[in-house]
Structure 1
């Protein structure tokens, strides 16, 4: 009997330890940093599929979007952050709010489907944004572009979703070299970053977008392979992103895996450990 009591006590202590570990991890993730693994190529070559990073949630303060979604399909669990932290939602405001800077790489909550996206903010509240012949114009002025060679990668399935890259040099076979033109784009505040070009597509020429107050305009650096604010707000299109939907800023890649899982350490990219993002 004494042995049974000791066993029950050990089990209870283990349950309490796991519970408090989860509580502490949840608080840490909600307040300070959120892990994010890049699932798509929309931010190449700044971010590659399989890059793993922590998002700084202190950069812009806190809103309902600061709480993580809890999605465990295997257990039938799908709890939106709105249900957890809905008390913070309202009037498009934030607690301890800070404003993003043009050019920041930001994880935000999609206004319709609740998925976390990562893009670069190019349009601030009140700005006009337009694409003309593939060139970004902000408030009627073209951004500065400088040719920066060619971005190359192997045509192969990438990441856990097994996506293949799009290539400027046409349809290439598996194992062949996939090429994209690379340019250095300099925004009005002087921040420079790489962008890629694949082909002429519908969003190379757009009408004029006027960014509403309290909203931001986001684009992917891989311009021809990015669903972003150029697409009207739908379950897929992003549209203008409200201030309260910002989650945090991405500053640095922690490590990067070229394989189907971050646990496949033999596929880690040795040149991307703790790489600073521009």
Structure 2
């Protein structure tokens, strides 16, 4: 039989192993990659509710918002920072309410950004667009929150086909991505926004269902986002579940495992 000393030693080793594992996981999350679940439909059809991804925190360097539990609170601005590129899909800290958002970077410092009749203009030039067919999804409750999708062909009954017009947009640096249209809205026609130095302009790909930089912070919008609020770049969907729980394996989207984000 094992002696009491052996048993105690085994317990100590087990505790040490757990502590080391937690430390390694904490360092990994703090310095390299942060897990992120997609909770809303603002980035459809690039990102779907229930997509799980890791945010690359090394892409733009580190700020006080890049580390959990205030570990990087000593950082003033950014360290080892590198500029994001137009078209990046970025997780950032909302400048006012402290929530983490994920949107596409549209405007760089000094850019002039405007929407006219649903068309994006950057520095007074309309971006190239081309028809992308129709994005279709089932009208049903989505994700743990159980929200219902918005449909261009509304009203749609439960179990019906919810449709949105898809358009492919090519940004000035050549990044091509899809956007969705639900309706004509006030956000389809905006004033000219000039992006201040050290800030960025973000928009959701699901243009009529996104709280983004088109809406000022005073109206509970996102407004311009400071560089230091950027947490990291989303590069790839690791896993995706269409159901209310990750354990509902029959709702897993096999075609989205390790899918590159474009």
Q: TM-score range by the shorter chain?
A: over 0.9
Name the structure 1 match of 2:160: 176
1:41-79 CA distances to partner (integer Å, 9 max, x unpaired)?
Answer: 0000011111111111111111111112xxxxxxxxxxx
1:83-126 CA distances to partner (integer Å, 9 max, x unpaired)?
Answer: 332101x2xx3111111110000111111222111100000001
Matched ranges for 1:97-246 at <5 A: 97-234=81-218, 236-246=220-230
Distance 1:235 1:202 in 2: 14
Distance 1:173 1:3 in 2: 68
Aligned residue-pair number: 261
Distance 1:226 1:157 in 2: 18
CA shift for structure 1 position 10? 3.7
Name the structure 2 match of 1:86: 73
Name the structure 2 match of 1:48: 48
**Root mean square deviation of aligned Cα:** 1.6
Contact 1:112/1:234 (<8 A) preserved: no
Q: Give unpaired runs (5+ residues) of structure 1.
A: 69-80
What TM-score, normalized by structure 2, do the two folds share?
0.94
SS of 2:216's equivalent in the other structure is coil
CA shift for structure 1 position 154? 0.2
CA shift for structure 1 position 262? 2.2
1:155-192 CA distances to partner (integer Å, 9 max, x unpaired)?
Answer: 00011111110000011110000000000011111111
Q: Give unpaired runs (5+ residues) of structure 2.
A: none
What TM-score, normalized by structure 1, do the two folds share?
0.89
Name the structure 2 match of 1:62: 62
Structure 1 stretches of at least 4 aligned residues deviating more than 6 Å after TM superposition: none
SS of 1:66's equivalent in the other structure is coil
